[in-house]
Amino acid sequence: MSLPARSSTSPWAVVIADDHGADSLLPHSRAGQSAPVQYSVLNGNRTLFQEALERAMRVAPASQVIVTTLDAYHHYWEPALWFIRPEHRFISTAAGMPWLTTAAAILAIAYQAPDSVVALLPGRCFVSHEAVLSAAIDKAISLLPVVPEAVISLGMQDLDCGIDEDYLVPRKGERDLLQPLLGVARRPVPWIA
């Protein structure tokens, strides 16, 4: 059995910036308002969202970058999207539906170029070693033609038990920038708990 030929054209990238989890509100941001974490600056002068856009530009040309956003935070994302065509902006008016805007973005790509490779990039993740992630993305895109499922997921994996939901437990008392580690707590698996 031979695998279907995949497109030799450039991949597409979708930056998912409307995924606002319950943990994403910051107590103090611009103008004293709460804002999703993707619009905060953690390392340098750019927000996590801007870093994700740059990451997308390393994966795909600007003409093949799509962004999903939430209209309520347009004053945060609009200035950063000057190079993204309006038809490549999937803007939700209701929070909590990133699956819908992401599906719409993927369907738009499938309509234009059905055999294209699509990279989904979260807009609210901090990456401390961009070079390592870039190399992993490049490797995944190069390996994709030989993967029967036609999907590759990059993420952290706990080699001990296959569950990547561990927590670091700091000592009690005052919190400093560097904190001694008391231990690691594993989140119980639902069928065990």
pLDDT of 105 reads 95
Q: How many CB atoms lie within 10 A of CB 88?
A: 19
pLDDT of 32 reads 53
Residues 69, 105, single domain; the answer is yes
Can you tell me the mean pLDDT for 10-26? 74
Can you tell me the mean pLDDT for 154-162? 56
Q: Band of the pLDDT at 65, cuts 50, 70, 90?
A: very high
Q: What does the pLDDT look like over 160-192, one tens digit per residue?
A: 555 455 555 666 666 555 556 556 666 665 555
Q: What is the C-alpha separation between 184 and 166, in angstroms, rounded?
A: 7
Residue 86 has pLDDT above 60, yes or no: yes
Residue 104 sits in a domain whose CATH number is 3.90.550.10
Instruction: Domain of residue 45: give its range.
Output: 12-146
Residue 38 has pLDDT above 80, yes or no: yes
* Placement of tokens 């000592």 in the chain: 171
Residue 75 has pLDDT above 60, yes or no: yes
Residues 88, 174, single domain; the answer is no
Q: Which of 61, 66, 50, 42 is nearest to 120 (CA)?
A: 66
Number of domains in the chain: 2
Residue 1 lies in a domain: no
Residues 164, 116, single domain; the answer is no
Residue 131 lies in a domain: yes
Q: Band of the pLDDT at 29, cuts 50, 70, 90?
A: very low
53 burial level (CB within 10 Å; 0-12, 13-18, 19+): buried
Distances in whole angstroms, Cα of residue 56 to Cα of each of 46, 64, 121: 15, 9, 7
pTM of the entire predicted model: 0.71
Residues 82, 114, single domain; the answer is yes
Residue 6 lies in a domain: no
CB-CB contact of 166 with 186 (8 Å): yes
Residues 140, 175, single domain; the answer is no
Distances in whole angstroms, Cα of residue 129 to Cα of each of 44, 71, 74, 97, 179: 14, 30, 28, 30, 22
Greatest mean pLDDT among 31-40, 98-107, 171-180: 98-107
More confident residue, 40 or 68: 68
CB-CB contact of 59 with 121 (8 Å): yes
Residues 124, 37, single domain; the answer is yes
Residues 142, 163, single domain; the answer is no
Residue 57 lies in a domain: yes
Residue 2 lies in a domain: no
Full DSSP string of 161-174: TS---EEEEEPSS-
Q: What is the C-alpha separation between 86 and 184, in angstroms, rounded?
A: 46
